């Protein structure tokens, strides 16, 4: 039987290997490294949910203005959590903001930044995010969680005419097993480009 995929608890998001993100100012009061019970943020006892996970769960992304997004995510990123906690915090953010993009053009750079961070995190920690604490299935049976950041970035770059960036993210999505949700769009783009080159 395969070993369980280990889940790691980090002091903050910038401590996660493979992620380029500046550290918060002062982390001396945060305990790293071991799971345990955390005080519940609602004051009702304790919970096994990390502080990052609890904080992310309290954010209403439907009412956040573009200028507040970074501050809210930084609050989550500065707290102890697992790669999965940080991934789901970012997913909640960019999923809601992508749906609100028509009402506020200021969301586009924020969506791109958050999606790129989530792609970077997933590229480096896909097994831990998908299977943390459970046995790792055999390679041919492995299905990772779906990460919409790849699809959103592909569409964003395609709509803005950044074709090299769109193809790059499609390639990264394919390597991470995330390309199936927009593979038809990738194929159409490649066929269009080949057609233009042959004219």
Concatenating the DSSP letter of every residue in 67-80 gives HHHHHHHHHHHTS-
Which position has the token pair 């903050």?
12
Report the candidate in 123, 129, 137, 134 with the shortest Cα–Cα distance to residue 174: 123
Report the candidate in 96, 94, 82, 85 with the shortest Cα–Cα distance to residue 32: 82
Q: 180 in a domain, yes or no?
A: no
Which position has the token pair 């055999």?
138
Give the pLDDT of residue 95: 92
- Extract the tokens encoding 152: 């959103």
Q: 183 in a domain, yes or no?
A: no
Q: 119 in a domain, yes or no?
A: no
Q: Are 48 and 35 in contact (CB under 8 A)?
A: yes
Ramachandran angles phi, psi of 135, nearest 5°: -65, 140
Q: 82 in a domain, yes or no?
A: yes
Q: Are 19 and 13 in contact (CB under 8 A)?
A: yes
Give the pLDDT of residue 1: 45
Q: 85 in a domain, yes or no?
A: yes
Q: 93 in a domain, yes or no?
A: yes
pLDDT mean by block of 10 residues, the chain; 199 residues:
69 84 62 54 71 89 87 91 92 92 87 95 86 71 82 91 89 82 75 75
Cα 49 to Cα 56, 112, 132, distances in angstroms: 11, 28, 14
Number of C-beta neighbours around residue 38 at 10 A: 18
Q: 122 in a domain, yes or no?
A: no
CA 24, 27, 31, 33 dihedral sign is positive
Give the pLDDT of residue 16: 87
Tell me the C-alpha distance between 48 and 61, whole Å: 24
Total domains in the chain come to 1
Tell me the C-alpha distance between 191 and 185, whole Å: 10
Look up the domain containing 30 and give its range.
1-104+131-137
Give the pLDDT of residue 34: 46
Give the pLDDT of residue 46: 67
Q: 2 in a domain, yes or no?
A: yes
Torsion of CA 14, 41, 28, 86, to 10 degrees: -10
Give the pLDDT of residue 21: 79
Give the pLDDT of residue 181: 66
């Amino acid at each position: 039987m395969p070993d369980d995929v280990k889940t790691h608890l980090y002091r903050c998001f910038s401590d996660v290997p493979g992620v380029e993100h500046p550290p918060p100012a002062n982390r001396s009061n945060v305990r790293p490294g071991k799971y345990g019970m955390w005080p519940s943020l609602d004051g009702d006892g304790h919970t096994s949910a990390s502080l990052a996970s609890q904080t992310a769960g309290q954010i209403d992304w439907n009412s956040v203005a573009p200028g507040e997004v970074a501050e809210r995510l930084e609050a989550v990123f500065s707290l102890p959590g697992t790669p999965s906690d940080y991934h789901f915090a970012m997913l909640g953010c960019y999923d809601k903001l992508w749906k609100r993009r028509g009402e506020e053009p200021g969301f586009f750079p924020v969506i791109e930044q958050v999606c790129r961070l989530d792609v970077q995190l997933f590229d480096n920690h896909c097994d831990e995010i998908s299977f943390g604490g459970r046995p790792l299935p055999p390679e041919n049976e492995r299905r990772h969680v779906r990460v919409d950041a790849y699809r959103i970035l592909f569409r964003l770059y395609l709509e803005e005419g950044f074709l090299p960036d769109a193809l790059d993210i499609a390639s990264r999505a394919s390597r991470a097993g995330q390309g199936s949700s927009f593979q038809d769009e990738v194929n159409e783009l490649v066929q269009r480009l080949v057609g233009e080159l042959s004219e």
